Amino acid sequence: MDNLQIAIPEIFLLSATCAVLIIGLFVKPKSNTVYWLSQATLVVTLIMSFAQIGDETVTGMSGAYTIDSLSATLKTWILVVAIGIFLYSRDYVGERKIQRHEYFVLCLFAVAGMMIMVSATHMLTIYLGLELLALSQYALVALHRDNSRAAEAAMKYFVLGALASGMLLYGMSMIYGATGSLDLHVIADILAGTSSETLSAERTIGARFGLTFLIVGIAFKLGAVPFHMWVPDVYEGAPTSVTMFISTAPKIAAFAMLIRLLVGGLETLSADWQQMLAIMAALSMVVGNLIAIAQTNIKRMLAYSTISHVGFLLMGIVGVTNDGYSAAMFYAITYAFTTLAAFGVLLAISREGHEADTLEDLAGLGKRNAFLATIMSVSMISLAGVPPLVGFYAKLSVLQAAVGAGFAWLAIVGVIMSVVGAFYYLRVIKFMFFDEPTDAVDIEIAGDVTAGLAVNGLAVVALGIAPGFIMAACIAAFA
């Protein structure tokens, strides 16, 4: 029983999700009952996860599952972001031929998958969580089944995602072959030489070989160059609410997976993965930012922007220092809720038969709805890394980690690329404020969505002025 206690939030979430799934069969398709039940589930899970912050580290289920301040903090933020996602997508999903009950239930399953990834300290649990998340996402992308682009995106996503999972599994099996364990604590001990077992030189090479495949798998899931090809197509093809989902909370979970595998399990091999991550970070920042300039579809642009931000996130980790890990964690969290605000605005201005997915659709938004335009601008300026918004501190902290670890060249690549990035973020503002509207239809937003966007936008500003407490939480996670 003691073992199960550490997974109480996840157990509750899964049980409640199953209940919501069944209740969904008995309510009218148009009703919002499932939405409210899903939100209630998330809120209760959020409270449970939040209560775990500050608890002592507990590992249970034969080493497969761990709660520590890292997992509690990340879970809390995943849930906060998920609540925002549900709120913003409610009306969007309702207006379209998307099965809304299934939509929310699939999202809940994906959230459960993410929470499992965050706490997993065993390769099998990591895989379990990852696949729960990935399978839900494939289905979500395909949910708009009458849309051929969505179907194409889902197909691409599924094939490439399955390939990545295969890579990851192959790497895990190699490491299992070398160390004889799938438990990351045990693997860490064996590699570090602190366990009774020691590794022969050949076996260490085997572990390194496995590490390479692991990194390929992780890079695929994160969308780092050169494993980023799926990102733009999926972002563009998926319904906007699903794009919002894919681009926000799962990045936090993927960060956790990276930390659990590379830092928790294989930190002894850091000299090997450090170089790989540094190259991927540089490539992601360069490719992501440069190609984003050429995009006219805003979802595609945000896809390349995500790729570049993954590069920044990796920059925090290459230093192999606790400061760097907490910087990357701060980056992942703030990136998620800043992007959330941008997608929230896109969803608010989309309506049935007229998706807002090109830059032209934003033209003159400042005149049509100054509130939405302001929220979007705040989000864009923050993503560009201009103070005093929160994105600046995220960049500052990863740059500091990189410079401190002797990766000054990477930091310089990063800042130059952030100037390139500023160009396309500013272009969004240009369309909204400097151009005349091309569309005169009034934008209607529900009151609670307005409130949600206001809080979200305000958080980006307020955390820019006082980012201290999230930063402190991120530092505590690696103390």
Chain residues binding another protein by CB under 8 A are 381, 386-388, 392-393, 396-397, 399-400, 403-404, 408, 411-412, 415-416, 418-419, 422-423, 426-427, 429-430, 433-434, 466-468, 471-472, 475
User: Rounded to the nearest whole angstrom, what is the least distance from the CB of residue 469 to another protein in the complex?
Assistant: 10
At residue 301, what is the residue type? M
Q: How far apart are CA 463 and CA 382, in angstroms?
A: 11
Q: At closest approach, how far in Å is the CB of 89 from another protein?
A: 30
Alpha-carbon distance 410 to 282, whole Å? Answer: 6
Beta carbon nearer to another protein, 115 or 380: 380
* Number of separate helices (H) and strands (E) present in the chain: 21, 2
Name the residue with tokens 């148009």: 30
Are the CB atoms for 207 and 214 separated by under 8 Å?
no
The least CB distance from residue 226 to another protein, in Å, is 26
Terminus-to-terminus CA distance in the chain, angstroms? 29
Q: How far is the CB of 250 from another protein (least distance, A)?
A: 27
Residues forming a β-bridge with 120:
65
Show the DSSP H helices in 120-147 as ranges. 123-142
Query: Contact at 8 Å (CB) between 361 and 445?
Result: no
Nearest-approach distance from CB 392 to another protein, in angstroms? 7
Residue 101 vs 427, nearer CB to another protein:
427
325 vs 392, beta carbon nearer another protein:
392
By the 8 A CB rule, do 116 and 148 touch? no
What is the rounded distance in angstroms from the CA atom of residue 8 to the CA atom of residue 372? Answer: 38
3-state SS class at 358: strand
Nearest of 21, 49, 162, 52 to residue 115 by alpha carbon: 49
One-character DSSP codes across 311-322 = HHHHHHHHT-SH
| Amino acid present at 431 | F
Toward another protein, which CB reaches closer, 186 or 390?
A: 390
CA pair distance 135, 158, nearest whole angstrom: 8
Cβ distance to another protein smaller for residue 58 or 403: 403
CB 61 to another protein: min, Å: 33
Tell me whether residue 132 or residue 329 sits nearer to another protein (CB atom): 329
**51 vs 370 by CB, closer to another protein:** 370
Minimum distance from CB of 289 to another protein (Å)?
A: 13
Report in angstroms the alpha-carbon separations of 103 from 90, 148, 390.
10, 18, 31
Q: Which is nearer to another protein, 113 or 391 (CB)?
A: 391
**Residue 357 CB, nearest approach to another protein (Å):** 22
Q: Which is nearer to another protein, 190 or 459 (CB)?
A: 459
What are the tokens at 202?
């050949």
70 touches 259 (CB < 8 A):
yes
CB of 408 to another protein, least distance (A): 7
